[in-house]
Amino acid sequence: MKKRYASTWESLKEHQVPKWYEDGKFGIFIHWGLYSVPAFAPQTWELGEVPPDETWFSNNPYAEWYYNSINVGYGPSYDYHVQKYGKDFKYEQFADMWKAEKWNPAEWARLFKKAGAEYVVLTTKHHDGFCLFPSEYTDYNAWRRGPQRDIVGDLTDAVREEKLRMGLYYSGIVDWTFADDPILNNEDLFHTASPTFAYADYAYNQSMELIDRYAPSVFWNDIGWPRQGEQNLPYLLSHYYNTVEDGVVNDRFNDLFHDFTTKEYQSGSANRREKWEMCRGMGLSFGYNAMESDDKIISIEDAISLLVSTVANNGNLLLNIGPRADGTIPEEQEKRLLAIGEWLRVNGEAIYGSRCSSRESIKYTDQIQVHFTEREGALYVLIDAKGRSQVAVTVPGLRGNAIPLDPEVDAEITAVDGGLCFTVKNFGSSQNIAVFRLN
Ligand SMILES: C[C@@H]1N[C@H](CNC(=O)c2cc3ccccc3[nH]2)[C@@H](O)[C@H](O)[C@@H]1O
């Protein structure tokens, strides 16, 4: 019998995180839109590395922030824009330059499947207000302009064809087509963006059309929800759950409600006792940054290490790709997705469907950490030895027989006082993370 949610916080609080999201562990975030045309941002910091003040916002590494970065009227993006497009070139003109002429959604979905992802989250409307779906509330959308396609619908169909879950991102409180005072600090961002009741209704109406048209498995709201629309939320969220019973929402509704909490790069905190999700770009940006240098893009080994440490601590990893305006995925991003998929094909038994172990992760050095997961009565020991070709670690309190999941891993396991010593002589193809099943 399908549960019916009332539009009250009490009823919503009965919603449980669905098994598919607990089991899925790995998703692909996609930031694609008008900002993918200029595809420019300075390569400065990861979010959380420096305070979110004027220095961050006028040197914003997020290429999807291009509109605000030029709107502040100074800084690297402003200088780039004047030099490349001219002082009078309006951001809105990118709407007719974005053609997505090489886009093949089925190809994208096949790549995400090969990457071992279980779900996908696509931007439907980022802070610039341009919609990737035929919204009935604005013509500033990809059906009327640029690609002249229902990007959201076409990708949703392709993703579901590959039996992956489709999630939708919506920029709830920031929409520069309603209010575009330059943003130079978090106060502007989280509290005073788009301050009208008209915008609150707009956000509510667009969210309803996204739910009714696409029934997304994830409703990923960003930054916050219009304060003038907070009283709409219980109805919106109960409508969402009554439409998508095993749907999930994140914690970016002004901390009023969530299924899972979020971290972004170095920003935010997570606790093992509740479900959380880590999101980040491959480099310092979510939107494609054509200027990005290889040294700023996460290594394959560090991406897998992040997945392992996130999952072992009760999280999911939502790893972003920033496609080019023409619809192709940059090779350096594709390479990382395929390598993660390769690692998961060999070691995924310790990841998919696993649960957080009562054993906390152990940090021996900055390079050597051991994580634990549990699944179907088995304990998995995941030895992460960043950058080392061999390692020997003693894990206390373990006993029994440990088998490497990767047959190419050459390791010796010996019982020592009250624990097991793992001597890994060769990590095989497992990118310096060797996984053992303890029977
Ligand atoms: C995915 C990413 N989100 C950014 C806004 N970030 C937040 O609102 C935010 C970060 C964060 C970290 C920990 C807890 C809450 C948070 N909210 C956006 O400004 C970026 O363009 C991008 O879309």
Beta strands in 39-188 (DSSP E): 119-125, 165-171
Q: What is the pLDDT of residue 417?
A: 87
CA 117 – CA 277 distance, rounded (Å): 14
Which residue among 65, 69, 222, 284 has the greatest number of ligand 1 atoms within 8 angstroms of its CB, and so is best to mutate?
Answer: 222
Sign of CA dihedral 41, 46, 47, 49: negative
Checking if the pLDDT of 384 tops 90, the result is yes
CA 389 – CA 426 distance, rounded (Å): 6
**Average per-residue pLDDT in the chain?**
97
Question: pLDDT grade, residue 431 (50/70/90)?
Answer: confident
Closest ligand 1 atom, residue 190 Cα: 8
CA 104 – CA 4 distance, rounded (Å): 38
pTM across the whole model: 0.98
Ligand 1 centroid from CA 159, angstroms = 24
Question: pLDDT grade, residue 220 (50/70/90)?
Answer: very high
Q: What is the pLDDT of residue 430?
A: 79
| Mean pLDDT to the nearest integer, 276-295 | 97
| Mean pLDDT to the nearest integer, 96-111 | 98
Q: What is the pLDDT of residue 2?
A: 83
| Mean pLDDT to the nearest integer, 268-285 | 96
* pLDDT tens, residue by residue, 385-420: 988 889 999 999 999 999 999 999 999 999 998 899
Residues in the chain, overall count: 439
Ligand 1 centroid from CA 317, angstroms = 15
User: Of all protein residues, whose CA lies closest to atom 14 belonging to ligand 1?
Assistant: 268
Ligand 1 site, residue 266, Cβ cutoff 6 A: no
* pLDDT tens, residue by residue, 13-64: 999 999 999 999 999 999 999 999 999 999 999 999 999 999 999 999 999 9
Amino acid at 325: A
User: Of all protein residues, whose CA lies closest to atom 3 belonging to ligand 1?
Assistant: 222
Pairing status of strand 315-321 against strand 248-249: unpaired
Ligand 1 site, residue 128, Cβ cutoff 6 A: no
Ligand 1 centroid from CA 342, angstroms = 29
Checking if the pLDDT of 190 tops 90, the result is no
CA dist list (Å): 22 to 41, 247, 372, 379, 436: 35, 12, 16, 17, 22
Beta bridge partners of 319: 28, 280
| Mean pLDDT to the nearest integer, 269-293 | 96
CA 115 – CA 204 distance, rounded (Å): 34
Q: What is the pLDDT of residue 53?
A: 95
